């Protein structure tokens, strides 16, 4: 006996009551819209009224419509796939950013592939070059490549920078100066006069952060020294404790929360009380910042919004090759790792 679907779904599992895969024309007929409007709403939602997009997506879901990447690729030469390249897939700072980017891609019928460079500029370049043959564009997070290298690679396929500024390319990054100014004002108001910046020289954005902090310290009559961590990792943060102590500073800006975590861990193991001996300020506000001992004062970066905005640009062919720099605000989150400097 031949089986018959009785629940309104197609026998082929598409979820359509039509007995075949629904098309944009079926959705257009249902809503009395032009098929081109349906197509734009599903592929370039920014060009269609938001309420109309919601109606179209609701009916598309109800009818079991699915984007056919092969059908899309035939007339356009597009694969429907985008790549994300990042330095360290285990770094929690990337989790929220990637999730937001993937949500944007999925909502627009695209697929994401992710590749890790292990923090190596050479690996990053090779990965980008290999992926360019099979993707429509790349989201490059915290790139280790020089701006001119990224620009040259973007001549092949669009590249959007995320969580770092990329001159001559579209990019989305945190607004460093106002954020660092909040943190410096916080330490200055607590009474700190001598501070250190524990940076990561292997990271492109490191120089910009140091330059801004040096200016802000001078404006407030504070001294600042730069201490270089071997990498933006917990272990590298732990390894600089001796140099932090020898510098005589009473407060430390860490390149990121991982470096700050390492410094806190090493201080606790050595019996050095934080913040009694020195205060620590991190950067990013990853999920573990409030779980640290002591809980970490840090600059919260809008990581989800960075991922969402960057992917919106990448999937838009009218924007993904136009140089732009979208900056989003940082927010100082004050917790237990900062306090007035030790007396004397």
Q: pLDDT digit string (tens) for 302-312?
A: 999 999 999 99
CATH of the domain at 110: 3.40.50.2300
Among 18, 37, 63, the domain boundary falls at 63
The answer to whether residue 95 sits within a structural domain is: yes
The answer to whether residue 138 sits within a structural domain is: yes
Same domain membership, residue 239 and residue 144: no
Residue reference for tokens 């700190």: 192
Same domain membership, residue 296 and residue 156: no
Q: What's the gap between Cα 251 and its chain centre?
A: 27
pLDDT of residue 182: 98
Q: pLDDT digit string (tens) for 106-147?
A: 988 899 999 999 999 999 999 999 999 999 999 999 999 988
pLDDT of residue 225: 98
Does the pLDDT of residue 169 top 80, yes or no? yes
Same domain membership, residue 83 and residue 168: yes
Question: Residue 285 contacts by C-beta under 8 Å, 6 or more apart in sequence?
Answer: 257, 298, 299, 300, 301, 333
170/322 Cα distance (integer angstroms): 6
Kindly write down the DSSP assignment for every residue of 297-340, as one continuous string. Answer: EEEEP-HHHHHHHHHHHHT-TTTTTS-EEEEE--EEE--TT--P
Q: Strand, coil or helix: what is 222?
A: coil
The answer to whether residue 71 sits within a structural domain is: no
CA dist 300 to 159, 207, 208, 278, Å?
Answer: 25, 20, 18, 21
Q: pLDDT digit string (tens) for 198-230?
A: 999 878 789 999 999 999 999 999 999 999 999
Same domain membership, residue 154 and residue 191: no
Does the pLDDT of residue 7 top 60, yes or no? no
Same domain membership, residue 277 and residue 199: yes
Question: Residue 36 contacts by C-beta under 8 Å, 6 or more apart in sequence?
Answer: none
298/156 Cα distance (integer angstroms): 38
Burial class of residue 269 in the structure, from the number of CB atoms within 10 Å of its CB (0-12 exposed, 13-18 middle, 19+ buried):
exposed
The answer to whether residue 321 sits within a structural domain is: yes
What is the number of structural domains in the chain?
Answer: 3
The answer to whether residue 22 sits within a structural domain is: yes
Question: Do the bridges between strand 279-284 and strand 324-328 make them parallel or antiparallel, or are there none, so unpaired?
Answer: unpaired
226 vs 48 pLDDT, higher one: 226
The answer to whether residue 185 sits within a structural domain is: yes
Task: Name the residue range of residue 19's domain.
Answer: 1-63
**CB-based contact 299:332 (threshold 8 Å):** yes
Same domain membership, residue 245 and residue 100: no
Element (H, E) at 195: strand 194-200
Mean pLDDT of 332-338: 98
Same domain membership, residue 181 and residue 168: no
What average pLDDT is seen over the chain?
Answer: 89
Question: Residue 271 contacts by C-beta under 8 Å, 6 or more apart in sequence?
Answer: none
Same domain membership, residue 240 and residue 166: no
Same domain membership, residue 283 and residue 311: no
Closest to 112 in 3D by CA, of 125, 98, 122: 98
134/247 Cα distance (integer angstroms): 50
The answer to whether residue 165 sits within a structural domain is: yes
Same domain membership, residue 259 and residue 221: yes
Same domain membership, residue 308 and residue 209: no
The answer to whether residue 15 sits within a structural domain is: yes
pLDDT of residue 19: 67
Mean pLDDT of 43-55: 79
Q: pLDDT digit string (tens) for 235-273?
A: 999 999 999 999 999 999 999 999 999 999 999 999 999
The two three-digit tokens of residue 248, written as one number:
């005589």
Same domain membership, residue 157 and residue 10: no
Task: Say whether the peptide bond before residue 57 is cis (omega within 30 degrees of 0).
Answer: no
pTM: 0.77
226/214 Cα distance (integer angstroms): 9
């Amino acid at each position: 006996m031949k089986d018959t679907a009785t629940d309104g779904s197609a026998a082929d599992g598409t979820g359509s009551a039509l007995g075949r895969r629904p098309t944009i024309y079926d959705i257009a007929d249902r809503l009395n819209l032009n098929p081109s409007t349906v197509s734009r709403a599903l592929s370039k939602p920014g060009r269609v009224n938001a309420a109309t997009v919601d109606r179209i997506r609701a009916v598309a879901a109800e009818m079991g419509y699915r984007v056919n990447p092969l059908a899309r690729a035939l007339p356009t030469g597009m694969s429907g796939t985008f790549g994300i390249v990042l330095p360290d897939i285990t770094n929690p700072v990337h989790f929220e950013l990637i999730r937001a980017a993937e949500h944007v891609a999925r909502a627009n019928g695209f697929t994401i592939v992710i590749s890790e460079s292990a923090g190596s500029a050479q690996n990053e370049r090779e990965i980008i070059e290999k992926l360019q043959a099979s993707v429509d564009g790349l989201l490059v997070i915290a790139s280790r490549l020089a701006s001119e290298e990224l620009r040259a690679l973007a001549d092949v396929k669009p590249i959007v920078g995320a969580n770092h500024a990329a001159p001559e390319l579209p990019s989305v990054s945190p607004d460093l100066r106002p954020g660092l100014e909040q943190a410096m004002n916080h330490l200055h108001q607590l009474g700190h006069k001598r501070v250190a910046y524990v940076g990561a020289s292997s990271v492109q954005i490191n120089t910009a952060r140091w330059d801004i902090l040096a200016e802000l310290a001078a404006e407030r009559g504070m001294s600042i020294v730069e201490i270089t961590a071997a990498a933006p990792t917990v272990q590298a943060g732990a390894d600089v404790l001796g140099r932090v102590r020898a510098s005589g500073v009473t407060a430390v800006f860490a390149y990121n929360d991982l470096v700050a975590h390492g410094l806190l861990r090493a201080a606790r193991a050595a019996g050095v009380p934080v913040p009694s001996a020195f205060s620590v300020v991190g950067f990013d506000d990853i999920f573990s910042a409030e779980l640290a001992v002591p809980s970490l004062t840090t600059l919260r970066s809008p990581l989800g919004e960075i991922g969402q905005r960057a992917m919106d640009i990448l999937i838009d062919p009218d924007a993904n090759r136009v140089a732009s720099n979208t900056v989003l605000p940082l927010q100082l989150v004050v917790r237990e790792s900062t306090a007035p400097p030790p007396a004397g």
